[in-house]
């Protein structure tokens, strides 16, 4: 199992990468198996990393876990995944506590709330467990590293440029987000509001709705947005769950072709909506690469190669060398735009 070398451009996400990763054994371990007491505790020991996504059953996190598992296979470590069915911080806290008791080497978590899971993570750190956030961060003092998928400004710009282009630069748009406290979506929404105000003064964000990264709630919130705003020209959904549900709703509704939809989505979930014309273009990074990088960074912490200090460098297998930036952040790369011309090159 190999991941193709990453380059720092958008072209980094290649079909070959996606296919190679899709071919890996997959199948996340949903059991709560963190590892033994010595796991990942020092040089030469077993490197055990447990991924704790926002929720299970989300293809985005299935992909990031596939990448994590592939990396740990290469490293010779142990991969596990645990997580709640609902994207709530409380549910994550009980998993964190269990993983701390099990003394796993590292917890790699996508946070449902920037502060609510912090006490549990600090206890984990105090007990010698390395804490890595990926995808959605906590307050920085609660973790050793944050593996950021892309710079928030770039993610915000990509989505606002896409919707502005699709609706002709002016008119009412709404945002369909994930959970109201999700660190990542909230950071992107703030940047989207700023960027839209600066670059597209005739674009008006009339509502921000929250579908909690649940398919049905996101579907229902899409319907409600369309009913409440009769002049709505577009919806931006900065969550793969929201985007897929909104596309499904629009595709069979009277609004298809009238109201534009873009945001962050996975190619496999949106392919049919690109093909039937519901969606023109959307953005994302490669979640498999995000999981792969997260696993390598976690292993580097466990093995003592890095501490999370700015300037620390480590090797992330086939992705190459990475450097820890200010605030203990590692950035994967740039977002990528998918459309009818390229979507068939991707399989995640």
Question: Which residues make up the interface to ligand RAM (CB under 6 A)?
Answer: 54, 58, 60, 110, 135-136, 178, 182, 184, 213, 239-241, 264
For ligand RAM, the closer of residues 147 and 241 by Cβ is 241
Rounded Cα gap, residues 144 and 167, in angstroms: 42
Residue nearest ligand RAM by beta-carbon distance: 60
Q: Do the Cβ atoms of 38 and 46 come closer than 8 Å? A: yes
Minimum Å gap between C-beta 60 and ligand RAM is 3
b/e burial code for range 271-280 (CB count within 10 A of at least 16 → b): bebbeeebbb
The DSSP bridge partners found for residue 264 are 283
* Nearest in space to 335 (alpha carbons), one of 297, 286, 291: 286
Kindly state the tokens that stand for 332. Answer: 């994967």
Taking the least distance from each CB to ligand RAM, the nearer of 273 and 306 is 273
Q: How far is the CB of 128 from ligand RAM (least distance, A)?
A: 27
Distance, in Å, from the CA atom of 111 to the CA atom of 33, rounded to the nearest integer, reads 20
DSSP 259: S
Which residue number, 134 or 195, has a Cβ lying nearer to ligand RAM? 134
Minimum Å gap between C-beta 254 and ligand RAM is: 27
Q: What backbone phi and psi angles, to 5 degrees, belong to 218?
A: -65, -40
Give min distance, CB of 98 to ligand RAM, in A: 22
CB of 136 to ligand RAM, least distance (A): 5
Minimum CB distance to ligand RAM smaller for 103 or for 110: 110
Question: Which uninterrupted H or E stretch holds 192?
Answer: helix 183-199
Nearer to ligand RAM, 124 or 283 (CB): 283
Q: Based on CB atoms, which residue is closest to ligand RAM, 41 or 343?
A: 343
Q: Which two tokens stand for residue 203?
A: 């674009």
Of 158, 184, 163, 183, the C-alpha closest to 175 is 163
Structure-block tokens of residue 32 = 């709560």
Toward ligand RAM, which CB reaches closer, 60 or 338?
A: 60
Of 154, 206, 152, 148, nearest to 176 by C-alpha is 206
CB of 207 to ligand RAM, least distance (A): 19
Phi, psi values for residue 45, rounded to 5°: -75, 175
Q: Is the Cβ of residue 13 or residue 178 nearer to ligand RAM in the bound state? A: 178
Nearest approach in angstroms of CB 267 to ligand RAM is: 13
| Shortest spacing between CB 6 and ligand RAM, in angstroms | 19
First to last CA, the chain: 16
């Amino acid at each position: 199992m190999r991941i193709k070398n990453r380059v720092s451009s958008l072209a980094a996400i290649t079909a070959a990468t996606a296919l190679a990763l899709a071919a890996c054994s997959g199948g996340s371990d949903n059991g709560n198996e963190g590892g033994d007491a010595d796991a990942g505790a020092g040089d030469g020991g077993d490197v055990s990393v447990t991924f704790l996504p926002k929720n299970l059953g989300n293809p985005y996190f299935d992909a990031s876990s596939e990448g994590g598992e592939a990396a740990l296979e290469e490293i010779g470590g142990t991969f596990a995944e645990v997580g709640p069915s609902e994207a709530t911080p409380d549910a994550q806290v009980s998993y964190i506590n269990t993983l701390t008791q099990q003394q796993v080497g590292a917890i790699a978590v996508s946070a449902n709330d920037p502060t609510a899971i912090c006490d549990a993570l600090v206890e984990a750190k105090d007990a010698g467990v390395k804490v890595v956030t990926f995808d959605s961060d906590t307050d920085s003092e609660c973790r050793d590293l944050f593996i950021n998928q892309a710079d928030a400004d770039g993610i915000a710009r990509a989505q606002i440029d896409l919707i502005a282009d699709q609706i002709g630069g002016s008119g009412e748009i709404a945002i369909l987000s994930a959970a109201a406290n999700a660190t990542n979506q909230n950071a992107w929404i703030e940047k989207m509001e700023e960027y839209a105000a600066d670059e597209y003064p005739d674009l008006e964000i009339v509502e921000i709705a929250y579908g909690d990264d649940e398919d049905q709630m996101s579907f229902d919130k899409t319907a409600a947005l369309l009913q409440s705003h009769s002049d709505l020209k577009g919806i931006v959904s900065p969550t793969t769950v929201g985007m897929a549900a909104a596309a499904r709703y629009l595709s069979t509704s009277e609004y298809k072709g009238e109201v534009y939809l873009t945001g962050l989505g996975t190619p496999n979930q949106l392919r049919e909506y690109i093909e039937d014309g519901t969606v023109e273009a959307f953005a994302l990074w490669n979640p498999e690469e995000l999981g792969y990088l997260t696993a390598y960074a976690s292993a580097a912490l466990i093995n003592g190669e890095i501490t999370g200090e700015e300037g620390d460098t480590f090797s992330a297998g086939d992705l190459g060398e990475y450097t820890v930036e200010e605030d203990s952040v590692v950035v994967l790369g740039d977002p990528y735009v998918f459309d009818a011309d390229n979507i068939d090159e991707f399989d995640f």
